């Protein structure tokens, strides 16, 4: 099988470069080891008609990366507009932050159509397309319009919210009908899958049986594939990373203090404001912990052009300053706050150094930081994971200390508990979580999805044959009809 993986961005994964997020960390080993071609944006845009859209193709292990310049006229509306100012807040149940326009939606659909046309150069009789994440909800439908009959799967790395939230997204019905062009749609958790099933059954009034939706596109299987990591490889890297200069400097600077660590993109879904309030509360409730434990919070800025992100960055910086001013001493800083990214190798060493890992999103698809923190620990003296029950990882890592990120006092108590947990209990919890990480690895995730995609395609085939033989031609999609009036098409 010739596998083509598609995401908004691709990552080269060089050892000393910062990692841009969980999706990049997850897909790198898949591409390197499977021989897949990974296609995505180069991060650049280009004006005008592009006969040859690919700016760069390079090898990555057994596979390859193909980086594409996206159309300048539509990139802003696609990325900062509809994808990250409509879909992202909705998918994280923040309807109050949806900000978008008709033009944004048209640009989103144009970029999905543009990507579909670009992918045709990779199409072979044995090709399977695996589309990643919310940037390309409609890409499967665009590929079908171009005549693609090969397997097309989709995996959502974010949560999928309740129907009442989805209905707040403009054009939600049209988008979800387009998603049913995929043979297989994968989710991180059972709750996400159930939410999607409820929408297609109740809002679209489509028949659903045994997790398979029947629509005008044929049959689409919905299933759960919790994403994993290579825990053993990450553990080996963490042990080596202790000697990295950045990690060594951190260890020396602690002067015997214990360390809690949080590593997140600077995003409102990550619960950073509540986390800082919880540490503030902990030092207030437990003054003996002052000068004995500090928080290293790494928060990598992203999507700076979106108002909600700029507001969050200002709020977090102000809170950190307030807490440090209230609890700090001339020779002790309670919160070490860094607005920059680190490579996976350095992060592994930082995780291993910290006695407590704090992963407390308000809502998250999986949050691989939780799994990486556990894998990085010293088996003889492991740290403790404090984990939001609203992270997808909580479904597997149930021996972590699970918290409600909206309960500030509760989080403060649990973080203090983690700091005083005896070694025997820490090892018991760590070993139980490592067993699950090893049995639900990134390799298992990849193999399970591809196997299910192949099975789903064979299930779908009769419906497609039936459509080809007798069903009436479907009308032109509404977005395309609107697009004909003043929105450029890239043919």
Q: Are 350 and 336 in contact (CB under 8 A)?
A: no
Q: What's the CA gap between 228 and 191, in Å, rounded?
A: 18
Give the CA distances from residue 399 to residues 149, 405, 426, 428, 433, in Å, rounded to whole numbers and listed in that order.
44, 17, 10, 9, 7
Beta-carbon count within 10 A of 348 CB:
27
Query: Are the C-beta atoms of residues 157 and 22 closer than 8 Å to each other?
Result: yes
Q: Which helix (H) or strand (E) holds 305?
A: none
For 233, the token pair is 């490889």
Q: Which of the following is catalytic: 74, 92, 135, 157?
A: 157
What is the Cα–Cα distance from 194 to 181, expressed in whole angstroms? 19
Show the beta-strand stretches assigned E in 366-480. 384-388, 401-403
364 noted as active-site residue: yes
Active-site residue, 286 included: no
Question: Do the beta carbons of residue 418 and residue 373 sit within 8 Å?
Answer: no
DSSP assigned state of 456: H
DSSP string covering 340-398, please? Answer: S---HHHHHHHHHH-SEEEE--SSBS--HHHHHHHHHS-TTS--EEEEETTBGGGGT-T
- From the centroid of its chain, how far is CA 476? 32
What is the rounded distance in angstroms from the CA atom of residue 180 to the CA atom of residue 201? 12
Question: Rounded to 5 degrees, what are φ and ψ at 185?
Answer: -120, 120
Spatial neighbors of 250 by CB under 8 A, at least 6 apart, are: 259, 296, 350, 353
- Compute φ and ψ for 294, nearest 5 degrees: -130, 165
Distance CA 83, CA 104 (A): 9
State the sign of the Cα–Cα–Cα–Cα dihedral 281, 93, 72, 155.
Answer: positive
Q: Which of 133, 280, 364, 440 is catalytic?
A: 364
Mind telling me the catalytic residues?
157, 364
């Amino acid at each position: 099988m010739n596998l083509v993986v598609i995401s908004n961005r691709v990552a080269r994964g060089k050892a000393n470069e910062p990692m841009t997020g969980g999706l990049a960390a997850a897909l790198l080993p898949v591409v390197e080891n499977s021989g897949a071609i990974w296609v995505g944006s180069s991060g650049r845009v280009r004006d005008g008609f592009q006969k040859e859209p690919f700016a760069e193709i390079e090898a990555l292990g057994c596979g390859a990366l193909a980086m594409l310049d996206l159309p300048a006229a539509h990139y802003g509306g696609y990325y900062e507009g509809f994808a990250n100012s409509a879909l992202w807040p909705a998918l994280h149940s923040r309807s109050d932050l949806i900000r978008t326009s008709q033009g944004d939606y048209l640009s989103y659909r144009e970029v999905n159509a543009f990507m579909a046309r670009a992918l045709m150069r990779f199409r072979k009789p044995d090709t399977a397309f695996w589309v990643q994440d919310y940037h390309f909800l409609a890409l499967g439908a665009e590929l079908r319009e171009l005549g693609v009959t090969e397997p097309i799967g989709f995996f959502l790395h974010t949560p999928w919210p309740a129907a009442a939230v989805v209905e707040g997204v403009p054009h939600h019905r049209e988008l979800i009908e387009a998603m049913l062009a995929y043979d297989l749609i994968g989710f991180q958790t059972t709750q996400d899958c159930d939410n999607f099933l409820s929408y297609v059954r109740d809002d679209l009034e489509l028949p659903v049986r045994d997790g398979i939706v029947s629509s005008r596109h044929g049959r689409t299987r919905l299933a759960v594939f919790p994403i994993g990591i290579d825990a053993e490889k990450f553990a080996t890297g963490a042990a080596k990373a202790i000697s990295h200069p950045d990690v060594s400097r951190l260890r020396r600077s602690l002067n015997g203090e214990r360390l809690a660590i949080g590593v997140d993109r600077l995003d409102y879904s990550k619960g950073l404001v509540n986390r800082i309030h919880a540490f503030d509360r902990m030092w207030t409730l437990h003054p003996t912990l002052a000068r004995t434990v500090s928080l290293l919070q790494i928060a990598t800025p992203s999507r700076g052009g979106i108002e909600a992100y700029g507001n969050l960055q200002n709020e977090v910086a102000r809170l950190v300053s307030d807490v440090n001013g209230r609890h700090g001493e001339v020779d002790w800083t309670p919160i070490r706050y860094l607005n920059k990214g680190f490579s996976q190798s350095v992060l592994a060493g930082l995780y291993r150094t910290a006695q407590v890992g704090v992963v407390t999103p308000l809502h998250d698809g999986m949050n691989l930081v939780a799994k990486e923190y556990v894998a990085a620990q010293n088996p003889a003296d492991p740290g403790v994971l404090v984990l939001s029950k609203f992270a997808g990882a909580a479904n597997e890592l149930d021996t972590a200390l699970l918290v409600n990120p909206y309960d500030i006092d509760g989080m403060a108590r649990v973080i203090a508990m983690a700091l005083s947990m005896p070694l025997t209990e820490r090892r018991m919890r760590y070993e139980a979580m490592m067993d699950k990480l090893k049995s639900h690895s990134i390799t298992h995730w990849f193999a399970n999805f591809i196997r299910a995609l192949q099975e789903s395609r064979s299930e779908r085939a009769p419906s497609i044959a039936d459509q080809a033989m007798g069903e009436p031609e479907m009308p032109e999609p509404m977005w395309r009809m609107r697009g004909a009036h003043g929105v450029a098409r890239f043919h």
